[in-house]
Amino acid sequence: MQIKTDIPNSWAEPWKIKTVEHIRLPNKNERKIALEDAGWNTFLLKSEDVFIDLLTDSGTNAMSDRQWAAIMTGDEAYAGSRDYYKLEEVVRRVYGFKHLIPTHQGRGAEHLLSQLLISSGDVVPGNMYFTTTKFHQEYAGGTFVDVIIDEAQDPTSTHPFKGNIDIDKLAAVIDEHGADKIPYISYETNVNMAGGQPVSLENIREVHSLCAQHGIKLMLDATRAVENSYFIKCREPGCQEKTIAEILWEICSYMDGCTMSGKKDGIVNIGGFLAVNDDSLAQQARNLVVAFEGLHTYGGMAGRDMAALAVGIEESIEYNYIYARVEQVGYLGRKLAEFGVPVVVPFGGHAIYLDINRILSHIPQAQFPAQRFAGELYLEGGIRAMERGIVSAGRDKQGRNIFPSLELVRLTIPRRVYTQSHLDVVSESVARVCQRADSIGGLEIIYEPSHLRFFQARFSPI
């Protein structure tokens, strides 16, 4: 017997599959028709026409048997549901915030927070924009100012915490506008638009102390704070011995409140919340939530949804879960890198981002190269990805196109849904599109909605 000496230590998912959902790869001609019908916008494809769906990790998660069990015992009372109190207890214990205001999803919480705190003419600094977050800040009359560190704009920088806020940039914004024009700092964990890049505890502490000096609130976008906590445990000096729960708790301890999309870290299909410490702000939020979401003890979620979210939050902070979750994303990143595909590094927590500026460098940004690539990837392998470049960036208040420095395609991994074989197929399809990159052209826009255009815009190849 001759056993190799360097036997790898592979990881495996801490779950097995109990129910399966059938998927089908439409043939080449069907894919061509489907993409044309969708106006080259992957948001407009029918799910049935998609083989492997990496559009988003939002609400696309597989729930556990424990979560399904909780669904069956959900309390559907209009007022005072048992599951509201259960969720409140879990949010207090895990995130550490005193008041819970449930919402139908993250943007419902962003809406409430923005309406409550932002006045016309205000400035909201944050670590890179997120589409819906910025929309709500501007809808409430504010202006978003990006204060993320410069490394975030460089897809090749291996900075371990590319999501960090640049303290000098933030101090300059405070100097320029004055603290009374800044209702809060919008602080995102595992910054989505930067490539799923984490922030460090050290940065949070620094931002917190600057905010405290000026009496400015610090609000967390906790959507992927658990995934960020995993990176802190792996990368931040002195954090290796801390549990995910301890790190998450510490992140939140510096914050005045958070908005949360339960559809990500919370491992559910719908739901979210606003959580704050201030009694009077909570009171105002409860007054507002009844107008936009539902009574303050359900806020747009069914009782069973709150029950599933409460269990999902508990599962999300188990080390074995979060390790498998983030390392599966890394597996896809390594596969792509082995093929020579330019991707954003370090690999993100929820997605791998293709660096389209390097893949389709011959296409001007005004011809939507990342949007085109996403379409080509669907034609190639029935794989659905999402543009995160000029289309997502939209237009400024004067109506001009915003040209972001990052032109990316996001391959987003739903939680507990796909296996390594799916990701092998994805990496091979991406590499094949890259192989024929020179023969790919741009797109022109033929329909553009007035806001958040990436969801519904239609395109045609040039």
Residues near ligand F0G (CB under 6 A): 56, 58, 105-107, 130, 132-133, 188, 192, 221, 223, 261, 263, 272
Does residue 368 carry a catalytic annotation? no
Q: Which is nearer to ligand F0G, 217 or 264 (CB)?
A: 264
| Strands (DSSP E) found in 163-268 | 184-188, 217-221, 257-261
How far is the C-alpha of 86 from the C-alpha of 107, rounded, in Å?
22
Among the options 78, 403, 447, 455, which is catalytic?
Answer: 78
Tell me the sheet residues that pair with 461: 443
Catalytic residue among 162, 264, 325, 384: 264
Kindly list the distances between the CA atom of residue 302 and the CA atoms of 106, 298, 318, 374, in Å, as whole numbers in the listed order: 15, 7, 25, 35
**Judged by CB, which is closer to ligand F0G: 188, or 363?**
188
Nearest residue (CB) to ligand F0G, 373 versus 434:
373
Euclidean distance between CA atoms 114 and 134, whole angstroms: 10
Which residue is catalytic, options 221, 256, 265, 355?
Answer: 221
**In terms of CB distance, is 133 or 200 closer to ligand F0G?**
133
Active site residue 78: yes
Q: Which of 51, 84, 95, 130 is catalytic?
A: 130
Decide if 418 is catalytic: no
Q: Residue 445 belongs to what H/E stretch? A: strand 443-447
Q: Which is nearer to ligand F0G, 316 or 367 (CB)?
A: 316
Closest separation between CB of residue 386 and ligand F0G, Å? 7
CB of 55 to ligand F0G, least distance (A): 7
Smallest separation, CB 18 to ligand F0G (Å): 26
- Catalytic site includes residue 454: yes
Residue 103, beta-bridge partner list: 272
How wide is the angle at C-alpha 229 spanned by C-alphas 225 and 232, nearest 5°? Answer: 135
Active-site residue, from 325, 335, 388, 415: 388
H or E element: which one contains 274?
strand 272-276
Closer Cβ to ligand F0G, 189 or 367, answer by number = 189
Indicate the residue among 86 and 263 with the shorter CB distance to ligand F0G: 263
Minimum CB separation of residue 30 from ligand F0G in Å reads 26
129 is catalytic: no
Known catalytic residue at 16: no
Q: Which is nearer to ligand F0G, 128 or 244 (CB)?
A: 128
Q: How far is the CB of 279 from ligand F0G (least distance, A)?
A: 25
Q: How far is the CB of 207 from ligand F0G (least distance, A)?
A: 17
Active site residue 168: no
DSSP assignment of 98-135, as one string? SEEEEESSHHHHHHHHHHHH--TT-EEEESS--HHHHH
Cβ burial of 412 (10 Å; 0-12, 13-18, 19+) is buried
186 has which bridge partners? 126, 219
190: left (phi over 0), alpha (psi -120 to 50) or beta: left
Residues 238/243/244/246 CA torsion (nearest 10 deg): -80
> Residue with the closest Cβ to ligand F0G?
106
Strands, sheet with 408-412, edge to edge from the N-terminal-most edge strand: 351-355, 408-412, 386-388
Q: Residue 43, SS3?
A: helix
Cβ-based burial of 250 (10 A; exposed 0-12, middle 13-18, buried ≥19)? middle
Give me the least distance between CB of 185 and ligand F0G, in Å please.
Answer: 15
Give min distance, CB of 33 to ligand F0G, in A. 26
- At 72, phi and psi to the nearest 5? -70, -20
Which residues are annotated as catalytic? 78, 130-131, 221, 264, 388, 454
